[in-house]
Structure 1
Amino acid sequence: MSTAVPASIISVKDIPRLDPPPAYVPLAELSEGGLPRIGLPSGHAAVHLTRYADVHQVLTDPAFSRTETNTDDGPSFLPTAMPPELLINLDAPHHARMRRFVTSDYSSAGVARLRPALGEIIDARFADLRAQEHPDLFRTVLDSVPAEVNARFLGLPTQDLALVHAYGRTVQLASGEDMDTLTEHFTAVYAYVTDLVTGARPSDPDGLVGRFVAGREQAEPALSDEELVGLLLPAVVAGDHNSLSVLAKAVYVMLCAPPLWQRLVDDPTLAPRLVEELIRLIPLGVSSAFPRLATQDVKTTGGVVYEGEAVYADVFAANRDAEVFPAPETIDPDRGGARHLQFGYGMHHCLGAALARLEITTVLTRLAKEFPRLALDADPETLPWDVGVLLRRPTALPVRW
């Protein structure tokens, strides 16, 4: 891409391999209510909703159940069901009871106390990067920062990081091609979190794990060990890998779009708006939401979803709805208007959204300040990628400056 191209007209379509291939198969027959349908990897048919208004409706309407789809034979992108006590699998009113317990810690104010630790971690990783003869931004910096920050947040022992990071990667890739390894690693990380909750494995009492265990009586009724594991398992796995996937792709986009990078270098105050725009356009993995089941008939802009039908509310497509986001594939940090749906909406809004924003914005700002001439030192088409249901990102970013 030429550096003469104005940053205002850079499209995500100009970024090699950024958009994932569909994780579903379009079906020819419309649903009974006149809506498009897709075939899911689980073999089920699902109503496919792509307009912003319809996706927003599904994400906020309790008539669409997550619990009903999380079964061994349920409609899914995953090769197996997840533990039922995970927040993402709970419907009202059970979801609200557990969510209230954790909301303040994951708020913008709650994660702001991590700023000093985040700065120290970036300092150390940047020093490592500068010392390399053949610097790789992903392997030296990006692959470490979310994991180390998350460990500080949760109070995990430093010596546990490498193993937990490896197990989490397998779980987020969620590949059905090697169920033995997926089962082994999921069982291991589940047991690890269980040991933290029961005290069989030590953690920092000032970290989130210690405070959640100590404060479990504040929920009504008090949280059981299984419920605490349900809260903390995603925090251990997704708090690392979900942030890393979006961070890695955000940095990758900037390296593939020199005019956009130069604009950030010239005006670091652009970072928060730029990050929000990148998050709108960058899907986490190859699917953008979990299917839901309609528990009653619901009218959408294009037809009716009938009770008992599986629904895929396609956040990826909704975030590129031209009626809501004009020129939707243009990377425009000055864009106003509607809030994107990448972190979900309503009760299943991503708990880690504020932490991810903090990490991505800080890393991009620091990179622009300290490495203003940063450039990708490889053909983007040759870079290796991890590709999975909940995780998709480049795994090497050779750079020069």
Structure 2
Amino acid sequence: MAHERTLDFNGVDFNSDAFRSAAYRHYAALREVAPVFLSQPQGQLPIWYVTGAREVETVLLDNERFARDPARISPQFAAMIGGEQSIAFLNDHMLNRDGERHRRLRRLVNKAFTLKAVNAMRPRIEQIAETLLDQAGPRGHMDVVSQYAFPLSITVIAELLGVPARDRDDFRRWSHMIVQQVGHDLSELQRCYSEFASYMLALIEQRRAQPTDDLVTALVQVEEEGNVLSCSELCSMIALLIIAGHETAASMIGNAVYLLVQHPQALVQLRDEPGLMPNAVEELLRYDSSVERAMVRFVTQDTELAGQRLQRGQLLMAVVGAANRDEALCAHPDTLDITRPACPHLSFGKGTHHCLGASLARQELEIALNTLLRRCPGLQLAVAPEAVHWRYVPNFRGPQALPVRWSVD
């Protein structure tokens, strides 16, 4: 059995622009030395980082040893991790549950969040993308993140849920603060969570009294053998759909556009051969995933992974972005090849916690890219590549801003 190895990454800020600007080079070095390594930052809980494809897949598939629910360790541990009550009230969703509790929530939500409902959004997504480019097109330049990716993604998920247009700026503000966490004091975060929870409760009561044709109503009404979603489960699920539905989607679009303008031959090929888009979408998702690291897992028993000894109660982070660039996943992983047959990337997770919104995300990315490439000839970066900085957001990866320009007749 190998001895426990602790690499010298204890002082590294994994969320910083300095790290993310060279993240895949760092991850490659980590995989080579130890695909599972322990980071022990001073004053913080130690955490295992898993960077190898086989090891990440093992973690995502093994809910017995690597749990999402901290209660699997102990109620006291769950209370310590869960935090303040309003925060816990928005964390009572299926991504934080395992076993039968997870299966129950997943079955109920699946009955509301159907593929039919997602596919019915396609014409509306196309209309939103066209409208956004109607506004930016004559100027010949825009910030892809703030003027295209975020407005597109927040409008799509808000309309799917039935959130009024006047409230979308609040949702964006709340979700930004929740995913960023760092940079805000505890009182700010508590106020944010409290406002978010209060809004959710009011929206749920409104839909109970006046049902409409939207996803919130469907979640309120969903039932299976007398089993329904509790109030905290409803709030948490709606919050999860809003945050995951636009934060990750917006970064996904930003990452994809950044890659294409950095690979002009691929951009031209994709513009001229739109039939390549389904393969290109998978390759872009693999090459630079907007979910850089899966949500933290908790080691439920003393165990071994890749020769490392893990102890019950320790934290573990599966680094999806690193796994997607592992040669064990596909040949020449650091080469962007939009003609590559789709390989089994891990950008939407794997196993029971596989992303519920994967089909919606793929649809949004495909439409966003097709519309952009068709409407914006000669698309290119409007700044030097090194001027593009990365959002300071744990777990997610995406550009802070992405200025581009194109030819205007």
Q: Under a length normalisation based on structure 1, what TM-score does the superposition of the two structures give? A: 0.83
Q: Deviations over 1:2-38 (max 9, x none)?
A: xxxxxxxxxxxxxx93748989xx9xxx9xxx95312
Q: Aligned residue for 1:131?
A: 138
2:227 partner SS? coil
Deviation, structure 1 residue 218: 3.0
Native 8 Å contact 2:93 2:240 kept in 1: yes
Q: Say whether residues 1:57 and 2:61 are aligned partners.
A: no
Going from structure 1 to structure 2, the CA distance change for 1:75 and 1:260 (only over 3 Å counts) comes to: farther
Q: Deviations over 1:154-178 (max 9, x none)?
A: 1111111112112211112121543
**Distance (whole Å) between structure 1 residues aligned to residue 239 and residue 175 of structure 2:** 10
Going from structure 1 to structure 2, the CA distance change for 1:243 and 1:135 (only over 3 Å counts) comes to: closer
**Distance (whole Å) between structure 2 residues aligned to residue 242 and residue 307 of structure 1:** 31
Query: % of aligned pairs identical?
Result: 27
Going from structure 1 to structure 2, the CA distance change for 1:81 and 1:197 (only over 3 Å counts) comes to: closer
**Distance (whole Å) between structure 1 residues aligned to residue 322 and residue 275 of structure 2:** 29
Q: Aligned residue for 2:241?
A: 235
Q: Aligned residue for 2:174?
A: 167
Q: Deviations over 1:117-140 (max 9, x none)?
A: 111111211110123375433332
Q: Aligned residue for 2:21?
A: 17
The number of residues matched between the two structures is 374
Q: Aligned residue for 2:339?
A: 334
Residue 207 (structure 1) aligned to one of 192, 206, 214:
214
2:126 partner SS? helix
**Distance (whole Å) between structure 2 residues aligned to residue 41 and residue 156 of structure 1:** 42
**Distance (whole Å) between structure 1 residues aligned to residue 193 and residue 117 of structure 2:** 28
Q: Aligned residue for 2:356?
A: 351
Q: Say whether residues 1:397 and 2:398 are aligned partners.
A: no
Which has the larger helix fraction? 2
**Distance (whole Å) between structure 2 residues aligned to residue 94 and residue 125 of structure 1:** 41
Deviation, structure 1 residue 146: 0.6
Q: Aligned residue for 1:187?
A: 194
Going from structure 1 to structure 2, the CA distance change for 1:219 and 1:344 (only over 3 Å counts) comes to: farther
Deviation, structure 1 residue 47: 3.0
Q: Aligned residue for 1:364?
A: 369
Q: Aligned residue for 1:218?
A: 224
Q: Aligned residue for 1:152?
A: 159
Q: Aligned residue for 2:261?
A: 255
Native 8 Å contact 2:51 2:318 kept in 1: yes
Question: Unpaired segments of 5 or more residues in structure 1?
Answer: 1-15
**Distance (whole Å) between structure 1 residues aligned to residue 250 and residue 240 of structure 2:** 14
Native 8 Å contact 1:280 1:342 kept in 2: yes
**Distance (whole Å) between structure 2 residues aligned to residue 289 and residue 104 of structure 1:** 25
> AA paired with 1:241?
E
Native 8 Å contact 1:135 1:400 kept in 2: no
More divergent stretch after superposition (195-204 vs 123-132): 195-204
Query: Counterparts of 1:72-151 in structure 2 under 5 Å?
Result: 73-74=80-81, 83-106=90-113, 108-132=115-139, 134-151=141-158
**Distance (whole Å) between structure 2 residues aligned to residue 22 and residue 106 of structure 1:** 38
Q: Aligned residue for 2:69?
A: 67
Aligned-residue Cα RMSD (Å) equals 3.2
**Distance (whole Å) between structure 1 residues aligned to residue 21 and residue 121 of structure 2:** 33
> AA paired with 1:129?
A
Q: Say whether residues 1:292 and 2:293 are aligned partners.
A: no
